[in-house]
């Protein structure tokens, strides 16, 4: 018999995967329960609504990937290498999901946020919060790169936002065209934005 904690974790994982693969609006509580092999009563024991589940599922997904982000953006890693490794991480994650689902999935946080930004404030806020966390990682790498003299950037926070929003644009383009190729250009695009012509990690 499954432990309550296992049931909750399964619901979180299934919800995140289904919503990222499809969309929030197209995924029902019944579908989530069926995929997780959990009865509806158990669902409402843990979550008051699909909205609450989505917020917690996206937070749980961030917790799962945070150790990898901490590794990529470790102060022990040279700043420009951190940026290159992050670009490659984005590419690899998109490639893995495309192979699993048969289509480009794009950014899970931006997809959910844009779908519900005007309908569900808790979901909008969670999407913003998670995206801002990545921006802070980027900002720390840019700030350190500036201190080392590797780049000349007056406002690392602003440039970090530009990098992140450019990345979202590339992911959106790739998703709409169902084509991973544009994401291959992420690393050279980021390096060009900060004035680095050639870089090899």
Q: Name the percent of the chain lying above pLDDT 70.
A: 96
Q: Is the pTM of this model over 0.85?
A: yes
pLDDT of residue 1: 45
Angstrom distance (rounded) from CA 101 to CA 96:
9
Low-confidence ranges of the chain (pLDDT < 50): 1
CB 123 within 8 A of CB 55: yes
* pLDDT (0 to 100) of residue 120: 87
Q: Structural domains in the chain?
A: 1-54 (1.10.10.60), 73-193 (1.10.357.10)
Which of 185, 142, 180 has the alpha carbon at shortest distance from 161? 142
């Amino acid at each position: 018999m499954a432990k309550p904690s296992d049931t909750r974790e399964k619901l979180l994982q299934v919800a995140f995967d289904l919503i990222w693969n499809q969309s929030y609006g197209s995924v029902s509580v019944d579908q989530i329960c069926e995929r997780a092999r959990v009865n509806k009563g158990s669902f409402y024991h843990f979550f008051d609504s699909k909205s609450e589940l989505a917020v917690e599922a996206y937070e749980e997904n961030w917790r799962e990937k945070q150790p990898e982000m901490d590794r990529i953006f470790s102060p022990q890693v040279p700043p420009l290498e951190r940026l290159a490794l992050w670009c490659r991480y984005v590419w690899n994650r998109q490639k893995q999901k495309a192979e699993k689902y048969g289509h480009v999935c794009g950014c899970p946080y931006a997809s959910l946020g844009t779908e519900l930004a005007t309908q569900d404030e808790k979901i909008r806020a969670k999407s913003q919060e998670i995206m801002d966390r990545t921006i802070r990682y980027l900002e720390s790498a840019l700030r350190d790169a500036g201190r080392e003299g590797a780049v000349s950037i007056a406002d690392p926070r602003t440039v970090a936002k530009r990098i992140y929003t450019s990345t979202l644009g590339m992911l959106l383009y790739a998703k709409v065209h169902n084509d991973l190729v544009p994401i291959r250009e992420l690393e050279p695009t980021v390096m060009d934005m900060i004035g680095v012509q050639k870089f090899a990690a």
